[in-house]
Amino acid sequence: MDNKQRSKRRTALVAKVLSRYNIDIAALSETLLLDEGSLTKHVSGYIFFWRGGAQNEDRIRGVGLAIKTSLLKQLTDLPVGISERLMKFSLPLSKNRHATIISAYAPTLTSTEETIAQLYSDLNAILHSIPANNKLILLGDLNSRVGQDYARWEGVLGKHVVGKMNNNGLLLLSKCAEFELSITNTGFRLASKYKTT
């Protein structure tokens, strides 16, 4: 089965779930698709964008976005794959305001320090390039545990946190503090089984 057929089958399943929950925009991680591309699912009303590795690389990463086709007419530019771990696009909110949405798939703790550092370097470059008046939404799988010290990370963490912080968590917390971002899933009271994956 070639890359295009595989992506059609996978996106059909994802589109079905997104449609059931009426999701407008979803970040996709570990897509395992090669190169860069897009695919429209007319029946479900979604278009998928992805960026993966080159043909000669292992299929172990890949990042993407699923966007309702009804939102496409509002976009001035289509999503851009920065790497197989980062993708971004701008969504107009009003005449002079936009939201920049970033889909990220961070390396796991077993990855090399260089791989992790490259992701955060690329993310830093993207964050610095976003106009100050834009809203910023960072979505995806950051492969981190941020711990429970919400008092120390006030404004970044909410009170509904679990577990111990790991190295990736410290990197994420530091980046969020630098750019005044909040980790929103820590701000909602949820059953413990829904707080982590």
Structure tokens at 158: 């909410």
Mean pLDDT of the chain: 86
The first and second tokens of residue 64, run together, are 């993407």
* pLDDT confidence of residue 73: 86
- The crossing angle, in degrees rounded to 10, of helices 167-178 and 113-129 is 10
| Integer Cα distance of 186 and 173 in angstroms | 12
Select the more confidently predicted residue: 39 or 186: 186
What would the pLDDT profile of 43-78 be if each residue is shown by its tens digit?
Answer: 678 888 988 776 666 666 789 999 999 998 888 889
Give pLDDT tens digits for 75-128: 888 999 999 899 999 999 988 889 999 999 999 888 899 999 999 999 999 999
**Residue whose structure tokens are 């492969």:** 143
Tokens of 153: 């990370």
Picking from 23, 11, 52, 22, the residue whose alpha carbon sits closest to that of residue 35 is 52
Structural domains in the chain, CATH included, are: 3-143 (3.60.10.10)
Average pLDDT over residues 20-34: 86
Q: What is the pTM of this model?
A: 0.86
Higher-confidence position of 84 and 195: 84
